[in-house]
Amino acid sequence: MAPSLDDVRAWDKDDPLRAHRDAFALPPGITYLDGNSLGPLPHAARERVARVVSEEWGRGLIRSWDDAGWMDAPARIGARIAAIVGASPDEVTVADSTSVNLFKLCAAAAALRPGRTKLVIEDGNFPTDRHVLDGLARLLPGLRVETADVPGLADAIDGDTAVALLCHVHYRSGARHDMAALTGAARAAGAIAVWDLSHSVGAVPVGLNAAGVEMAVGCGYKFLNGGPGAPAFLYVARHLQAAARSPLQGWIGHASPFGFSDRYEPAPGVGRFLAGTPGVLGLAALEAGVETVLAADPQALWAKSARLFDLFAERVGLRCPGLDLATPRDPALRGSHIAFRCDNARSVMQALVARGVVGDYRPPDLLRFGLTPLYLRYEDVWTAVESLAGVLDPVPQTAGV
């Protein structure tokens, strides 16, 4: 039997993750279902950024590069993200944006597979991934991009494939790839799979080492709650670290940056994929955001995400029957957002936001809602679907006199 609002409130009362909501500044009157695009502000991030600005920058000045641990921040935060994605602490670092990291890793991977001509990517995935590969093919002679639909993706990764760039969770549909299977297929073909974890890190279980993943990148500002335009991260499996070279050789990726040598000698580990001076303010907020995820039991997070999803789908089925679920129902096949195809999706979402329910619209026809178990209540889902029903089927106006 479908749960009632009272049932849903009881779930919130018994929710083992309930206290985590208090870690965030959530504005009153807003039901926030866009944490898959920009996570909300953790109170700890506000405090941490204020301390970095006033004390570390303001008082410590240049000395804070050492004294306040600024120089170590990429590796330090990388090690914490490693714990979220099932990697060793020395396999992850934080740098630049997702786009820049995709470029670095895909170029490095292609160089490890000389003579191969194909860069494979799923058709219709997140634009930046496709653009980065196209740019790489434009830059480097002998490489071309081949797109494939999901059923043909594993087959497209063949003996002529250097790199397969794979988005773990699709930014529109929320569909999730079988990471171990596709990585296995890539490795069997001698190709390197580069995973983009932007829509899965902090949201669904990710086990990079267990799946045999060799390279990955991910975003800091979505489920990691790292702040607007937070620095991104990258992962290089230990066995590739000595051979993989960043095409973007910057001084912070040098084995000895403060030796100021003319000769580039890459840092021994994943730190060789750093380039310029780390952006300290963005790192500070990200560090606090990452801790909000690590503070919770990952199994409990994923279980609650699944339950939020089921409730959302069920309530939409009852209250908004004209909407068409675009996300797989099987939890093993999806991430932590839910999407519906909808006529006039853009204006529907605008009307919904005007009612205080913040999801987003993705062209041409998708309503997209992030399911973020750290701070979302079951009742929020109820409220959101009621508002959506009101937008889709407004109470008819009484005929005028």
Active site residues: 126, 196, 221-222, 368
Closest CA to 328 of 141, 175, 219, 170: 175
Rounded Cα–Cα distance for residues 227 and 220 (Å): 7
8 Å CB contact between 226 and 285: yes
Among 4, 261, 344, 347, binds a copy of itself (CB under 8 A): 261
Report the site for a copy of itself in 37-56 (rule: CB under 8 A). 37-38, 40-41, 45-46, 49-50, 53-54, 56
163 bridge partner residues: 119, 192
Report the site for a copy of itself in 378-397 (rule: CB under 8 A). none
Residue 31 or 183: the one with the smaller Cβ distance to a copy of itself is 31
Using rule CB under 8 A, residue 277 touches a copy of itself = yes
Residue 218, CB-side half-sphere exposure with 13 Å CA sphere: 32
Using rule CB under 8 A, residue 278 touches a copy of itself = yes
Among 9, 128, 298, 355, binds a copy of itself (CB under 8 A): 128
Residue 65 or 309: the one with the smaller Cβ distance to a copy of itself is 65
The stretch among 184-192, 234-242, 270-278, 374-382 that binds a copy of itself (CB under 8 A) is 270-278
Report the site for a copy of itself in 153-192 (rule: CB under 8 A). none
Among 174, 227, 271, 335, binds a copy of itself (CB under 8 A): 227
Match 């619209």 to its residue by tokens. Answer: 361
Least spacing, CB of residue 1 vs a copy of itself, in Å: 35
Using rule CB under 8 A, residue 148 touches a copy of itself = no
Rounded Cα–Cα distance for residues 136 and 119 (Å): 9
Q: Cα(first)–Cα(last) distance of the chain, in Å?
A: 43
Least spacing, CB of residue 314 vs a copy of itself, in Å: 26
Q: Which two tokens stand for residue 372?
A: 């973020």
Where does residue 369 fall: left (phi above 0), alpha (psi -120 to 50 degrees), or beta otherwise? beta
Among 3, 190, 212, 247, binds a copy of itself (CB under 8 A): 247
Using rule CB under 8 A, residue 34 touches a copy of itself = yes
The helix or strand, by DSSP H or E, that contains position 137, with its residue range, turns out to be: helix 127-139
Residues near 300 by Cβ (< 8 Å), separated by ≥ 6?
A: 16, 17, 373
Report the site for a copy of itself in 4-33 (rule: CB under 8 A). 25, 27, 30, 32
Rounded Cα–Cα distance for residues 121 and 150 (Å): 10
Residue 27 or 321: the one with the smaller Cβ distance to a copy of itself is 27
Helical ranges in 277-358 per DSSP H: 280-294, 298-319, 345-354
Using rule CB under 8 A, residue 135 touches a copy of itself = yes
Report the site for a copy of itself in 80-109 (rule: CB under 8 A). 96-100, 103, 107
Residues binding a copy of itself: what is the number (CB under 8 A)?
89
8 Å CB contact between 164 and 186: yes
Helix pair angle (378-392, 345-354), 10° resolution: 120
In a 3-state reduction of DSSP, which class is residue 26?
coil
Side chain identity, residue 390: G
Residue 11 or 65: the one with the smaller Cβ distance to a copy of itself is 65
The stretch among 7-15, 173-181, 236-244, 246-254 that binds a copy of itself (CB under 8 A) is 246-254
Report the site for a copy of itself in 54-73 (rule: CB under 8 A). 54, 56-59, 61-65, 70
Report the site for a copy of itself in 288-317 (rule: CB under 8 A). none
Least spacing, CB of residue 268 vs a copy of itself, in Å: 16
Rounded Cα–Cα distance for residues 206 and 82 (Å): 10
Side chain identity, residue 199: H
